[in-house]
Every structure is written in C-alpha cells, then in structure tokens.
Amino acid sequence: MPLLSSILLVDDDSTTNFLNKLLLTQMSVAQQVLTAGDGEQALRTLDQTCNAPDSSACPRLILLDMNMPVLNGLGFLEAYVQMPLAQQRAIVIFMLTTSLHPIDLARAEQLPIAGFLNKPLTKDKVTTLLREHFGQ
C-alpha cells in the first residue's frame, strides 16, 4: 500500500481523533496524520500546509466529522470550495458520521465529498477507501 503524504482528521472529539490517528499510524498509510478540532482549525491547517513553499504536508485525504462546534463539516466544505486550493489540488474528502439527517445528506452531496463513512473508523473501511480512491 503506497504511503500518502498526509491525512487530516477533523473531529471535535479528541478521543476520536486520538483513536483514528492511532489506527492510521498503525496501518502505516501516511507519512503524517494531522488533526483539527473543528472546521475553522482545519481550514487554517490546509492554508498552512498546502500554501507553504514545501507543500508535501498538504493532506491527500480529509476525514471530516459532520457535527462540530464553531464550524461544522458542511460549513467547512462550503468554505473549502471557495479556496483556490480546492481547484489546485485533488484532496479526497470523506464525511465521518454516526447518522445523517436527510437534509444534511442532500446538502453534503452538492459539495466536494467522495463519500460517507459511518463511525467508528476501522481498518477495513480505511483499506477499502484507499483502494477505491488511491488505487491501492
């Protein structure tokens, strides 16, 4: 399985971020696993890592929680599509959720996401995602 340069986990639950980071690290799927506690922090992380002279830390994959304070997953996606970065790089974004209201689902499908994954994240889900979207 080829190594991704970077994966960004976006979830307001620090335990979820810790466990997901641990899983991804144990699977050795990325050189770096970044975390953000909400959509605003994730946007700042993208700005810092993707617009730096050495943009190798720019995430290739974002695993995004739907329900977060400050800026939720939908708000993040709406801001993301306005960034020049969205047109410049192929970042695969998956929405992580426990359940999704039909209205939120309809809104999310209009935004640049590759799909939805039900929590919790598992080795099988990650393997399938990587195979389907990164040719592994």
Q: Which residues of the chain have pLDDT under 50?
A: none
Looking at residue 106, what is its pLDDT?
79
Q: What dotted CATH number matches 4-134?
A: 3.40.50.2300
The overall pTM is greater than 0.85 = yes
Where are the domains positioned within the chain? 4-134
Return the DSSP state at 39.
H
Q: At what angle do helices 73-80 and 39-50 cross, to 10 degrees?
A: 30
Q: 62 - beta bridge partners? A: 8, 93
